Structure 1
C-alpha cells in the first residue's frame, strides 16, 4: 500500500508539472511563422545546405533568451515592457515603444500575408480576401484568451503548433537529405552579401523581439507571482523544460523546412517564392505533400498572427500603460498587411524583408533583458548564473555583429 501511495504521489507531481507547461509553446509560435517559411525556403532553394548552421545557432540562442524572459516574469511578477516603462523617462519611453510597435507590426504583417498565401494555394482565394479571412479567424482565437482563459488559448495554439509541425516536416520525411550534406551545413560560413542578408532574415525570423517581450508576461499571467522563494524556484525549473520542449519542436520544424528546400527544390526555377516552392513541392513529392504543406502554412499564419497581436498589446500596456481591447487592436494592425496585399507586392519578398527588420529590433529587447536577469537587485536568488550571463551576452553580441556586417557589406556592394 505504501508503494501504491508513493507511486500515486509521484504520478501526481508529474501530472501537475505537465499542466504547468504551455506558455513557452505559445511563445514558440513566433519561431514557426510564415516569415520563417519564406526565409528558410529561400535559403534552402538558393544555397542548399549552406545556412543550416544559422538555424542551429539561432535556435540555441532562442532557448536561452526565452528562458530568461519567462524567468524575469516569474521571479519579479513584472513583464519586460513593464520594467522598461518604469525605468525610462517619457520621451525615451515613447521612442522605445515606437520601435517595439514597429517590430510587432512587421511581425503581424508577415503572419497575415503568410496565411493569405496559404488560403490562395489551398483554395484559390485572392490574397486580399485571404487577408480578411485570416484577420477574422485570428479574432476568434483572441476571444478564447480574453473571454475564456489563457489555458484554453494555449491549448488551441498547441493544436495549431502540432498541425504546423506535421505540415512542414512531412515533405522532408518523404525525401530525406543525405546526412553528409546536412553535416556540411553545420560549418559556419557565408557566400557573399546575399547570404548575409538571408542569414539576418533567418535570425530575425527565429529570435523574435515580440516573443522576448511577450514571454515574460505569458509566464507571469499563467502562474502569477508567488512570495514564496520555493514556489518561484519550482516554477522556474518547470519553465526551463517548457522552453526546451517548445523550442526543440520549433527548431526541428525550421530545420526541416530548409532541408526540404535544399534536397527537393535546389535549382528549381521559381522557388524563390512560397507559391513557387509549393508548386515545386507538389510536383516533386506529390499533391498530398503539397496540400499538407499548405495546411501547415495556414496554421502557421493563423496561430502566429494571434500571438503577435497579443504581444503588441503587452508591449503597449507595459511601455505606455495604455490598454486597447485585443479585438480593436486586431482590426487596427490588420490594415498594413491588407495594404501590402492590395498593392500587389510579391508576398515572399515582403515576408523576407519583414524578417530583416525584425533582426534589427532584437537588440532593443535582448540587451535590457540580459541586464535585468543578470541583476541580483532585480532577480534576487533567481539571478542568472555566470554561464547564462555569458551565453546571453554572446547571443546579443552575435546578433548585433551580424547586423553590422550586413550594413557594411550592403554599403560596400556585393563582393
Structure 2
C-alpha cells in the first residue's frame, strides 16, 4: 500500500471515529501547509526587507491584516473543494460564460507567471550567493531541483505534502533563530502591529506589494483542489468533521506563515532601519548581515531564502497546472509547464533588470490580479445552490467582501499613483 493510500484510509478512520488519538489529527495537515508556502516565498522577502529597512516596524500592521484575510480566503477555498468536489477553476469554467472564463484564465496565468518569477528568482539569488556562481547557472539549478521534487507527485499527494512540510519547518526555524540574533524593540513591534499607518506614497507601493505577496491568487485556486478526495466522506457528519479539521489546519499553517513574515520585517527593521534604511534588495541585505549581526545570521537568512525559493516554485508550478486544467480542460506535461514559467525570469536577468525590484513589481502584479479569484470564490461559497447547507453565513460573507474591498481599494490607490492622479494620504 502506498503512503498516499495509507494516509487516505487513516483519515477516513479518524472521520468515522475509529482513530481518536491526538497524533491522528496531524494526518489532516497537508493542503494548508502546501498553500502556506505561497505566503513565505521570496516575494515576501523582497517586500518585507523594503518595509523593515525603509520604515522600521511601521508596516507590520499590513502583514497582520494580509495574513488574516489570507486565513479567511484559504479556509473558504478548502471549504469549496470539500463540499463540491471541484476546484475553483473548474467551477468557474462550468458556471461562467466562455469570454469571462478566458479572461479569468488569462489573469490567473499572468498571476502564476508573476508568482513564479518571484519564487524562481529568489531561489536562484540564494544559490548564487551561496555558491558564488552566476545567477543564470543558479537559475538552471533551481529549475532542475524543482522539477525533481515535482516528480514525486506520481506517488500521490502525501509525499509532496511531507516534503513541503519539511521545508516549512526549515524556514520557520531559520527565522526563530534570526529573532534570537537581531536586536528587537518589542514595544515598537506590538504598537505597530495594531496601529495602521502609511508614512508616504512610496510606502503605499510596499503596502500593496505586501498584500500581493501575502494573499496569493494561485494559492486560492490550488487549495480548493488539494482538499478534494483526501479522505472518503460517507455522510454529512463526516463532512462537518473534515471541515472542522481543515479550518484548524488553515489557522495553524497560515499562523506560522504570518509569524515568518512578521519576523522578516522585524529582522530588516532591527538590522537596517537605523543606519541602512536604503537597503532595498536581497543581495545587499545578505552582504550587510555578516558585518552587522555575524556570519551565522547571514547563513541562516540564505538557507531560508533557498528553501523558500525552491519550495514555493514547486507549489507555483502545481498551481499553474491546476489552473490550466481547470479553466481549459487541458493539461501539458509538467516539464513544459516548468520550462515555460521559467522564461520570464531568464528574460529579466538577460536584460539586466534588478532582480529584487522585479520581485517587488511582481507582487504588485499579483495584488492587481488577486480580486479575480477572491470575487469568484465569494460568488460560489455564498450560494446554497452550489454549497447547499454549507454556504457561508452573512456574517462571514461580509468579512470576505470587506477583505476583497480592502484589496481593491489599495489597488485603486496604487494605480492612481502610477498614472499621476493625486492621492491624499492621512498619516496616523
Settle same-fold status: TM greater than 0.5: yes
Distance 1:292 1:259 in 2: 15
Distance 1:348 1:358 in 2: 15
1:125 and 2:133 correspond: yes
Q: Of the candidates 287, 303, 311, which is equivalent to residue 319 of structure 2?
A: 311
Partner of 1:364: 372
Partner of 2:249: 242
Contact in 1 for aligned 2:36/2:253 (Cα 8 Å): yes
Distance 1:50 1:40 in 2: 11
Partner of 2:239: 232
Q: Note the C-alpha offset of 1:371.
A: 1.6
Partner of 1:162: 169
Partner of 2:147: 139
Contact in 2 for aligned 1:144/1:152 (Cα 8 Å): yes
1:253 and 2:250 correspond: no
Contact in 1 for aligned 2:54/2:278 (Cα 8 Å): no
Give the gaps of 5 or more residues in structure 2. 1-16
Q: Of the candidates 234, 258, 271, which is equivalent to residue 264 of structure 1?
A: 271
Partner of 1:282: 290
Partner of 2:199: 191
Distance 2:200 2:53 in 1: 16
Partner of 1:398: 406
Distance 1:117 1:201 in 2: 19
Q: Note the C-alpha offset of 1:269.
A: 6.2
Q: Of the candidates 59, 71, 78, which is equivalent to residue 51 of structure 1?
A: 59
Compare 262-271 and 349-358 and name the one that shifted more: 262-271
Contact in 2 for aligned 1:81/1:318 (Cα 8 Å): yes
1:11-410 aligned at under 5 Å gives the runs 12-145=20-153, 147-186=154-193, 187-223=195-231, 226=233, 228-266=235-273, 267-268=275-276, 271-410=279-418
Question: What SS is found at the alignment partner of 1:84?
Answer: helix
Q: Over residues 293-336 of structure 1, what are the superposed CA-to-partner deviations in whole Å (9 max), with x where a residue is unaligned?
A: 10100000000000000001111011001111222211121111
Q: Note the C-alpha offset of 1:412.
A: 2.7
Compare 365-374 and 202-211 and name the one that shifted more: 365-374
Contact in 1 for aligned 2:112/2:218 (Cα 8 Å): yes
Q: Note the C-alpha offset of 1:400.
A: 0.5
Q: Note the C-alpha offset of 1:404.
A: 1.0
Q: Over residues 365-397 of structure 1, what are the superposed CA-to-partner deviations in whole Å (9 max), with x where a residue is unaligned?
A: 101101211111111121112321121111001
Compare 347-356 and 168-177 and name the one that shifted more: 168-177
Partner of 1:3: none
Contact in 1 for aligned 2:413/2:423 (Cα 8 Å): no
Q: Note the C-alpha offset of 1:414.
A: 7.8
Distance 2:423 2:413 in 1: 12
Distance 2:21 2:392 in 1: 26
Question: What SS is found at the alignment partner of 2:392?
Answer: coil
Distance 2:178 2:271 in 1: 9
Change (3 A) 1:328 1:221: farther
Change (3 A) 1:270 1:129: farther
Q: Note the C-alpha offset of 1:413.
A: 5.6
Change (3 A) 1:27 1:221: farther
Distance 1:91 1:383 in 2: 27
Contact in 2 for aligned 1:36/1:254 (Cα 8 Å): yes
Q: Over residues 103-141 of structure 1, what are the superposed CA-to-partner deviations in whole Å (9 max), with x where a residue is unaligned?
A: 001101111100010011211121111111101100011
Distance 1:166 1:118 in 2: 17
Compare 56-65 and 121-130 and name the one that shifted more: 121-130
Number of paired residues? 405
Compare 92-101 and 347-356 and name the one that shifted more: 92-101
Change (3 A) 1:125 1:402: same
Q: Over residues 202-242 of structure 1, what are the superposed CA-to-partner deviations in whole Å (9 max), with x where a residue is unaligned?
A: 00000000000110001114336x35211211111100011
Give the gaps of 5 or more residues in structure 1. 1-8
Contact in 1 for aligned 2:416/2:423 (Cα 8 Å): no
Contact in 2 for aligned 1:73/1:219 (Cα 8 Å): yes
Distance 1:16 1:211 in 2: 26
